[in-house]
Amino acid sequence: MAPSLSAFDQELLAGTHGEAAAFCMRLLTRFAEAVGAESFIDIEAAHIDGCLYLGEVSLDFVEHLVRHGGRVRVPTTLNVGSVDLIHPELFIGEPKIGSGGARLMKAHEELGCMPTFTCAPYQTMFRPRFGAQIAWAESNAIVFANSVIGARTNRYGDFIDLCCAMTGRAPLYGLHITENRRAEILVEIESLPAEWEDAGPACVAVGHTIGKRCGSLVPAIVGLPRNTREDDLKALGAVAASSGAVALFHAVGLTPEAATVEQAFQGLPPVEVIRLTADDLRQTICNLSTVPDGTPLSGVSFGTPHFSFAEFSRLMPLIEGERPVVDIYINTNRGVLDQLAMPGWDKALEAAGVTLVIDTCTYVTAIMRDMSGAIMTNSGKMAYYAPGNIGVEIAFGSLADCMASARAGKVVRL
């Protein structure tokens, strides 16, 4: 059934607001029909995942909108691109992808999108408010916005994200609607490994498990570590949206729509209960590494999703002392890079042999110079995708394990 159109929607379709907006509304109307949405709503913001070059079609779509004078109608942030525009010399891939990728990023700016080039737009000044209706793309950004902030978005993707931005409208279905945000599966953590001081690995293990086991149902988690921080929930969501299609989770007592179990489930009973023990969590973490301890490393990578200033604060004490013997890469965004200059951390990191990667990410593009040995990371998402995407062996460990291994030149655990 065709969705009902407001007067404004009809103007958009008729070309009153330009040919680019009309083109986008045409696609959006057919998309809405396909997903069964009955109408459209206004959105406050959009986040676009179309900056990564996947072939000429990526560029043709955006150039078509540029040519027709297109302009986004709501504040719109951009996800990572294929190249680091601040340090273009870091790119070592095919020239066509490098030049096409750089043009794609610029073309989005010409549409009025903000050059944030980050997969963590939620940790920039463009963080949406609780309850905001938004159209976001990129799986980790989507799950963070829904879960940790309580903003409302579906899993928008290629082309449709930009169509929402260019019209300021999104189809009303799925997670835009209160009752669809109800938890359905209860995930109870019965015990945590006593040896894990950092909440990071526990959150990654839980995230990986809910991705594998919850399908498209919404989980509510009880029993995360008491010292769980925002960046741990970020890591949890990112891996859950990699091993599965999780777009929203609740963490009881931690996330805004789950002060209590009853609130998370909107008063209804769970359809399933998953219980996890310390052993389950240890096993999940163990399985994330494709190589055994002691394997020679050729690099360490942090910041998938992009490293926040708070994460740098935890890293800085760990880089003091002996210089690492392998390359360390940290993916982050322009806003955080500016913040690092104030305390002089950018210089300290450079002195310690750290390469800061801006605007892009080591798991989607050709940046890492040496991939002959394994790469170690504290990111569950990097561990999940890197073997397939860039063909490396991966070791997963805590932030401290990664730094110790960078000094040892091989995988070690503290």
Partner 1 sequence: MSGPQRQFSATLLAPGAAAGLVFLLAEPLSFWGGLDSSTGRIIDRWHPQKDEIITGKILLMKAGRGSSSGSSVLAEAIRLGKGPAGIVLLSRDAIVIVGAMVAAELYGIACPVVMAREEDWAGISTAPRLALHATADQAHITLS
Instruction: Count the alpha carbons within 13 Å of 235 in the hemisphere toward its beta carbon.
Output: 29
Q: Which stretch binds partner 1 (CB under 8 A): 96-104, 151-159, 339-347, 402-410?
A: 151-159
Instruction: In whole angstroms, give the CA distance from residue 145 to residue 148.
Output: 6
Q: Which stretch binds partner 1 (CB under 8 A): 46-54, 90-98, 179-187, 289-297?
A: 46-54
Instruction: Rule CB under 8 A: choose which of 269, 344, 388, 391 binds partner 1.
Output: 388
Show contacts with partner 1 in window 158-177 (CB under 8 A): 158-160
Residue 56 interacts with partner 1 (CB under 8 A): yes or no:
yes
Q: Smallest gap, in angstroms, from Cβ of residue 67 to partner 1?
A: 12
| Beta-bridge partners for 274 | 187
Asked if 236 contacts 206 with a C-beta cutoff of 8 angstroms, the reply is: yes
Instruction: In whole angstroms, give the CA distance from residue 157 to residue 98.
Output: 22
| Beta-bridge partners for 396 | 377
Show contacts with partner 1 in window 13-42 (CB under 8 A): 23, 26-27, 30-31, 34-36
Instruction: Rule CB under 8 A: choose which of 9, 49, 84, 232 binds partner 1.
Output: 49
| Beta-bridge partners for 251 | 221
Phi-psi region of 311 (alpha: psi -120 to 50; beta: other; left: phi over 0): alpha
Q: Smallest gap, in angstroms, from Cβ of residue 173 to partner 1?
A: 10
Residue 60 interacts with partner 1 (CB under 8 A): yes or no:
yes
- Between 136 and 345, whose beta carbon lies closer to partner 1? 136
Residue 92 interacts with partner 1 (CB under 8 A): yes or no:
no
Of the candidates 339, 335, 400, the residue with the CA atom closest to the CA atom of residue 115:
335
Instruction: Rule CB under 8 A: choose which of 139, 304, 331, 333 binds partner 1.
Output: 139
Q: Smallest gap, in angstroms, from Cβ of residue 55 to partner 1?
A: 4
Query: Residue 386: how many CB atoms within 10 A of its CB?
Result: 24
Q: Which stretch binds partner 1 (CB under 8 A): 59-67, 193-201, 365-373, 401-409?
A: 59-67
Instruction: Rule CB under 8 A: choose which of 12, 17, 22, 61 binds partner 1.
Output: 61
Of the candidates 405, 402, 46, the residue with the CA atom closest to the CA atom of residue 201:
402
Of the candidates 283, 364, 397, the residue with the CA atom closest to the CA atom of residue 79:
364
Q: Which residues are within 8 A (CB) of 111 and not within 5 positions of it... i.e. 6 or more apart?
A: 62, 65, 66, 70, 71, 72, 76, 162, 165, 166
Q: Which stretch binds partner 1 (CB under 8 A): 54-62, 188-196, 281-289, 312-320?
A: 54-62
For the record, the structure tokens of 322 come out as 């002996």
Number of residues that make up the chain: 414
- Between 38 and 279, whose beta carbon lies closer to partner 1? 38
- Between 59 and 85, whose beta carbon lies closer to partner 1? 59
Residue whose structure tokens are 């110079």: 369
Residue 54 interacts with partner 1 (CB under 8 A): yes or no:
yes
- Between 35 and 286, whose beta carbon lies closer to partner 1? 35
Total site size for partner 1, rule CB under 8 A:
29
Q: Smallest gap, in angstroms, from Cβ of residue 35 to partner 1?
A: 5
DSSP 8-state assignment for residue 311: H
Instruction: Rule CB under 8 A: choose which of 58, 76, 333, 362 binds partner 1.
Output: 58
Q: How many helices (H) and strands (E) does the chain have?
A: 15, 14
Instruction: Count the alpha carbons within 13 Å of 283 in the hemisphere toward its beta carbon.
Output: 6
Of the candidates 162, 174, 155, 316, the residue with the CA atom closest to the CA atom of residue 245:
155
Instruction: In whole angstroms, give the CA distance from residue 194 to residue 293.
Output: 21
Instruction: Rule CB under 8 A: choose which of 122, 136, 156, 249 binds partner 1.
Output: 156
Q: Which stretch binds partner 1 (CB under 8 A): 50-58, 270-278, 299-307, 373-381?
A: 50-58
For the record, the structure tokens of 185 come out as 């599966």
- Between 80 and 354, whose beta carbon lies closer to partner 1? 80
For strands 272-276 and 250-251, give the pairing: unpaired
- Between 128 and 174, whose beta carbon lies closer to partner 1? 174
Site residues (CB under 8 A) for partner 1?
Answer: 23, 26-27, 30-31, 34-36, 49-50, 52, 54-58, 60-61, 64, 137, 139, 155-160, 388-389
